[in-house]
Structure 1
């Protein structure tokens, strides 16, 4: 009887130790929109890593609305998450959400787009400025000095739009003639509409640099088969890569959204373990061409 009792106590102790050792963390992931293949890939990368680490991951869609984003973060705080991963709808507007998390002492990690204010433990993203520069250098090499280019910008206020434009324009200055520049909000339909207006407004366009593939694909549809205009996108989504292979888009700058998502969860895990993480974790870029 004593031996049985002793074995039972030992078994319970081991069970309790196992529970402690393998206790799951709870992480919240707030995504700007899931109506974009890039962010769907980011979410899937995060989910795969969370499954691998036996971690609970709560994913919320902000639908490109800063108010919804704030509500999502407040919801995650109430639900007691250990870390919040956030892909901001807007790098300025996200401040209120980050501030709420800071006040509640929930660590924040930003993905792809940064936050201009508030305390963020780590930012994980591609070097968007380097990617914009890569696109500009490709266009310059293909079309030559003085080529007339349209720049389709992303959502104003996002670090992705700002940095991609900055890198591109560093190359364009004194080398390319940017005849039109307008925001199309990272959206395919808006990219199509803006490009249609650009074609009507500009007598000659040699090339287009779009801050993401969705706008680039929209621009390509607006151009159709009638004009010989080189189009370069950014993100290397599945649709964009297929378009490059078929001779539609000339190139796309390849980010690795799944890796950004998985690195986010991995970083959250390190934070929960009390480890120090870098302020910025860069994710490698490359240019996809035919």
Structure 2
């Protein structure tokens, strides 16, 4: 029993008024799974900003896993040892963390999964968007734009991460429904500009006909555009994401006939995950799977999301202020 509760019980038993005491803070462990791209950096910053807004309610223990599943398991073990009340993290592996989460649950620690899920129900809440729908949305737009026929390239994120696997599951189901769509290659480009540019460059060299690019986003669509330019090939319809650098490029290319759509996985999920953790700790009823609809950026609303005054690294769907964005991504 914590000290505050012990004093309160002792006071009641002694028949005296309980002393006024400051609200006891919760201790929340947050594991930053990855700092390898600007989306993951902003996701983490959203959590930190929400923690700053709730500084009277929570103290946070921060760890980093650097995209290593074994390190994430070790970090969660350490949080359990340090007696946290809740753990918020993005699973790197859908299976590796399950045993350690069972240990946390046995000690009454609340578990909130952020933006990615696991293959068990050993958690209290999941905060994300529907990544299957994310993949479907871009694929349906591309298939319709091509009139149901064409040869396309698919750029995935990182195999084994549920977000990447689920997005491709959604897209593949759409493409399978169009016999005239041929997916000539599916590449894991890690949401990375350079990897996508190299992959698309190689595919263009080997394929004289490429009619479209389905991309999970990140910086991969920018890499694909530059690969087409370097190969002196006309741009084709491509899907993207709500990265500001991509939105700027899209807006600049619209007058040349370039067409795109950008499903979004908002970085404000990092903020929401902490709010859900606090609700759990305060005994509020929380939906176990809090799955938001996928926001969409189209040619009709592109100008509302594009920010020429902010860094290319900025992601449009955020709860951060402009000042916080500028501090996070100083050009």
- Asked whether the two chains share a fold, i.e. TM above 0.5, the reply is yes
How far has the Cα of 1:196 moved from its partner?
Answer: 2.1
Distance in 2 between residues matched to 1:245 and 1:181, nearest whole Å: 27
How far has the Cα of 1:286 moved from its partner?
Answer: 2.2
How far has the Cα of 1:241 moved from its partner?
Answer: 2.3
Secondary structure in 2 aligned to 1:224? helix
2:275 corresponds to 1:272: no
2:185 corresponds to 1:183: no
Equivalent residue for 1:231, pick from 210, 214, 238: 238
How far has the Cα of 1:214 moved from its partner?
Answer: 2.3
What is the root-mean-square deviation of aligned Cα atoms in Å? Answer: 2.3
Distance in 2 between residues matched to 1:244 and 1:283, nearest whole Å: 25
Q: Is the 8 A contact 1:32 1:61 kept in 2?
A: yes
How far has the Cα of 1:97 moved from its partner?
Answer: 4.2
Please, which runs of 5 or more residues in structure 2 have no aligned partner?
Answer: 1-15, 300-331
Count of aligned pairs: 274
Q: Is the 8 A contact 2:73 2:96 kept in 1?
A: no
Q: Structure 1 residues 89 and 187 mapped into 2: Cα distance closer, same or farther (>3 Å)?
A: farther
Q: Which residue does the alignment assign to 2:150?
A: 147
How far has the Cα of 1:104 moved from its partner?
Answer: 4.1
Q: Is the 8 A contact 1:241 1:288 kept in 2?
A: no
How far has the Cα of 1:153 moved from its partner?
Answer: 1.5
How far has the Cα of 1:285 moved from its partner?
Answer: 1.9
Equivalent residue for 1:101, pick from 88, 93, 104: 104
Q: Which residue does the alignment assign to 2:132?
A: 129
Distance in 1 between residues matched to 2:120 and 2:272, nearest whole Å: 22
1:59-109 alpha-carbon deviations (Å, 9 max, x no partner):
322111112211221222223221111111222333344344335442211
**119-128 or 161-170: which moved more?**
161-170
1:174-230 alpha-carbon deviations (Å, 9 max, x no partner):
422211112223333222222222222323111111223222222223222522232
Q: Structure 1 residues 269 and 217 mapped into 2: Cα distance closer, same or farther (>3 Å)?
A: same
Q: Which has the higher helix share?
A: 1
Please, which runs of 5 or more residues in structure 1 have no aligned partner?
Answer: 1-9
Equivalent residue for 1:246, pick from 221, 242, 252: 252
2:84 corresponds to 1:77: no
1:217-251 alpha-carbon deviations (Å, 9 max, x no partner):
222232225222322124x1222222322227723
Distance in 1 between residues matched to 2:287 and 2:31, nearest whole Å: 21
Trace 1:1-290 onto structure 2 (pairs within 5 A). 13-14=19-20, 16=21, 19-20=22-23, 23-54=24-55, 55-117=58-120, 119-175=122-178, 176-224=181-229, 226-227=232-233, 228-234=235-241, 236-247=242-253, 250-258=260-268, 260-290=269-299
List structure 1 segments (4+ residues) > 3 angstroms apart after TM superposition: 102-105
